Structure 1
């Protein structure tokens, strides 16, 4: 039978496929509607809870800042807060599938700030009194911190019950479709669910082939649209860019995304511009902008100082436990690669025996499998150097890294960035990547740690560190910090 083209029509009415496709389309729309309602209701409920907490905090400060908060004031703030989800709806956050996590955080945070400032200005100017006696300001600060966390929890729950994301149709070569499908499935929070691979037009010549299609069913555009799929992602090689106009218009989808099969370009820190009737792609090099670099340094110092307050007693207790497990220095200083190729002295709580190097060499010589694992990861799942109990706990919880907050204050490190590696580890990478890494300060935590922790090999380290450096923004740092807390609590993968 001759292969159908993308412009083929759906099966004639009366066949079994039509009601089946209609039912699938309905379920898909209901799923996205459910996700949007769940997120909106969660925000409404959490705003009222945060307002009640704000009231308690404000009353606790009554001795320092005497105020009278009447029932009328409280009711007015409660009603005003109920308008905030309308702003988040306008920002595209309900459900907001297809938005990367940093973009979601940026939209929510900026909308929250603007919304509260508008409400405060309206009340202060028109009502003629101080805005809620500080009540709304406290609720606003709590909302900036708490609501992104509850949003992530709700999205996680929706993913587990199969109610998150929009189905997408993929178009391109077998290799490109397979790669994209794997990447989208590995990041379910993004909300693009690979559902079908579109059949090729006989005259397109874009390179779709009979190769691996990642297990996706192949179908025509009409059949995919009948199943409720409204988004197509087209994988285009640089040599096929001239085919993009005709190709995108031939795909009868309300939303078409182009994925350029080009390595090395930022994917988060970009936006399109109109340039003389052509599409221009603006690439933001945040790490090269002085204002953004200064912002990162200010945040580093604020976070490091705030984190050191609770961290100091933890560090003291952990140091005592280390000395009990293996008498000797509780802290360990190692020379590692820093910014611009400089060597920095990284401070850690000691988690290994004092004769760790000798133990490692003997273990690798006696165990070929361990030697291969070390060659790939420069880490071992069963590391003979690690102190029993104490060393494992410190590593799983990443508490051994807490002293590096001092490295942040001295300017040698950042809170978020690529991990500082020893010279032998850096030597395993090629020179261009070492230069890229050396363009930024190393960090206590980073994208690699929150994505694969210690389970990623050298290729994963290089890919994730490169992505972070090329796509850096304050919002990406905040997302990584949030995920770091989750990874530490779970303790999974660290060694």
Structure 2
């Protein structure tokens, strides 16, 4: 069954990634520390397989004095809270690299629906219609290469469901190489937005910093 093969691929590739990218991790760690006060990593509560919870890891991109538990779009001039290094990390998606550890320990997969925030109830409910909550969430996925943040919740959930329905090695390869193209082009990145409808994502709160 491909699910078992997929997990084996995740373990091997994530382990290789941790080893090969360790010099880059070190460089980013130093640059983040030099750029602003605070820890290098932050964690955020996300929805995993079968709607269980786990803490996703990212490189910190915001200042430690950002108002706590405040949605990004409700901040007064949110740009003032994003660090210089944070802008670069977000634009290049390098802030997502620590999730390789989430993949290695089995909380995520390389390819799958992006894990929803714990209180993105509309997205979670929509994904239930398509079985998209019943697989491991991914570092990237079908929705990410077909619109990313610009997508309305309904469309994003349908694309996640399409991924589940077409789950295969070929589909994962398409998503993998499609992601490389999307990252290079910075496609679909909209800070604090749930999609093209213009609706703001009220769950995009301040980073919960790991101690």
Q: Shorter-chain TM-score: what band?
A: 0.7 to 0.9
- Deviation of 1:438 after TM superposition, in Å, equals 2.0
SS of 1:448 mapped into structure 2:
coil
SS of 1:440 mapped into structure 2:
coil
User: Is 1:450 paired with 2:142?
Assistant: no
Aligned pairs for 1:25-424 (under 5 A) are 291-358=1-68, 360-361=70-71, 364=74, 383-384=78-79, 387-424=82-119
Residue in 2 that maps onto 1:428: 122
CA contact (8 A) 1:360 1:385 kept: no
**Could you tell me how far apart the structure 1 residues matched to 2:59 and 2:6 are?**
26
**Could you tell me how far apart the structure 2 residues matched to 1:360 and 1:430 are?**
21
Question: Once superposed, which parts of structure 1, at least 4 consecutive aligned residues long, lie more than 4 Å away?
Answer: 357-363
**Could you tell me how far apart the structure 1 residues matched to 2:73 and 2:34 are?**
25
Alignment length, in residue pairs?
Answer: 189
CA contact (8 A) 2:46 2:118 kept: yes
- Are residues 479 and 412 of structure 1, via their aligned partners in 2, closer, same or farther at CA, if it must alter by over 3 Å? same
Q: Does 1 or 2 have the higher relative contact order (CA < 8 Å, sep 6+)?
A: 2
- Deviation of 1:390 after TM superposition, in Å, equals 1.1
SS of 1:353 mapped into structure 2:
coil
Stretches of structure 1 lacking an aligned partner (at least 5 in a row): 1-290, 367-381
- Deviation of 1:337 after TM superposition, in Å, equals 0.5
Calculate the aligned-residue CA RMSD, in Å: 2.4
- Deviation of 1:403 after TM superposition, in Å, equals 0.9
TM-score by length of 1: 0.36
**Could you tell me how far apart the structure 2 residues matched to 1:344 and 1:385 are?**
29
**Could you tell me how far apart the structure 2 residues matched to 1:387 and 1:336 are?**
21
**Could you tell me how far apart the structure 1 residues matched to 2:61 and 2:72 are?**
19
- Deviation of 1:362 after TM superposition, in Å, equals 8.5
CA contact (8 A) 2:63 2:81 kept: yes
**Which one has the largest radius of gyration?**
1
- Deviation of 1:358 after TM superposition, in Å, equals 4.2
